[in-house]
Amino acid sequence: FVYCWPRHNGNPRDLLDIRQMRDKNRKPVVMKIKPEHVPRAKHKETPLYILCTAGMRILPESQQKAILEDLLTDIPVHFDFLFSDSHAEVISGKQEGVYAWIGINFVLGRFEHIED
């Protein structure tokens, strides 16, 4: 799902007003998997991982389980990527932070190795 929120007013006592984006029919907006980013001949050997973050962690465990079960059922029907039950999970805030740190540092080029 895609979420949006206005700029925070700076008051540490005010929470962000985080809302789920909805389409013109008021249905939640979901990011689409873009299989065309991977050559078709490579789909069967390309692993697909779905790491659910804060938006899923705030849901009751029963809803998390239902969503994960839907993913595990529907993904193999619509896509032929390498995908198994262990490839979809709700990750902790700590894991999410580590992935964010890696992503930011990668984008900033901090992992580039310069040979002497």
Residue of 36, 96, 112, 115 marked catalytic: 96
Taking alpha carbons only, the member of 79, 1, 89 closest to residue 47 is: 79
- Say how many C-beta atoms besides its own lie within 10 A of residue 46's C-beta: 15
Question: 24-36 pLDDT, tens per residue?
Answer: 787 766 656 667 7
Known active-site residue 96: yes
- Say how many C-beta atoms besides its own lie within 10 A of residue 61's C-beta: 9
Q: Which parts of the chain register pLDDT below 50?
A: none
